[in-house]
């Protein structure tokens, strides 16, 4: 078992995704956003689950907008286009499944599902 207490992980002050774990079944990414930060129109090759851990974000998708505060859980199908903006300092947890989705990496790039970017990892509690 591995575990993380998301509210107690120190924020870096940068909009730098931090990978908590990465396996073929799922990749978990913690993202801190300052008020006004945006993740512009984007789409993923994986199914995505987003939890608003802290703060409040605005989500736009297909011309519809919604505000989501802490405790909100959202799901997205592969290929759906959306944008997200922090309405206040916020922390979100992004789960991508399966990892990596078909077509995520360009041909010739290493698709190892357990590869972790060294600067982005947060060790589990007790490590």
CATH number, position 89 = 2.60.120.10
The secondary structure of the chain as a DSSP string is: -----GGGSPP-SS---EEEEEETTEEEEEEEE-TT-EEEEE--SSEEEEEEEESEEEEEETTEEEEEETT-EEEE-TT--EEEEESSSEEEEEEEESSSPTTSSPTTS---TT---GGG--PPTT-
pLDDT of residue 108: 65
Residue 6 lies inside a defined structural domain of this protein: no
Domain holding 80, by residue range, is 26-101
- Closest Cα to residue 51, out of 83, 80, 73? 73
Residue 1 lies inside a defined structural domain of this protein: no
pLDDT of residue 22: 87
pLDDT of residue 41: 80
Domain count, the chain: 1
pLDDT of residue 87: 97
Residue 113 lies inside a defined structural domain of this protein: no
pTM beyond 0.85: the answer is: no
- Per run of 10 residues, the mean pLDDT along the chain (length 127 residues) is 90 82 90 92 86 96 92 92 93 90 66 60 65
């Amino acid at each position: 078992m591995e575990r993380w207490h998301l509210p107690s992980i120190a924020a870096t002050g940068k909009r730098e995704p931090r990978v908590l774990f990465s396996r073929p079944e799922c990749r978990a990414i913690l993202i801190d956003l300052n008020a006004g930060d945006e993740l512009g129109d984007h789409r993923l090759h994986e199914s995505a689950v987003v939890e608003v851990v802290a703060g409040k974000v605005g989500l736009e998708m297909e011309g519809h907008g919604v505000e989501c505060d802490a405790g909100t859980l959202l799901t997205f199908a592969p290929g759906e286009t959306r944008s997200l903006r922090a309405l206040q300092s916020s922390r979100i947890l992004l789960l991508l499944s399966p990892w990596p989705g078909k077509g995520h990496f360009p041909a010739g790039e290493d698709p190892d599902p357990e590869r972790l970017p060294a600067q982005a990892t947060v060790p589990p509690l007790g490590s």
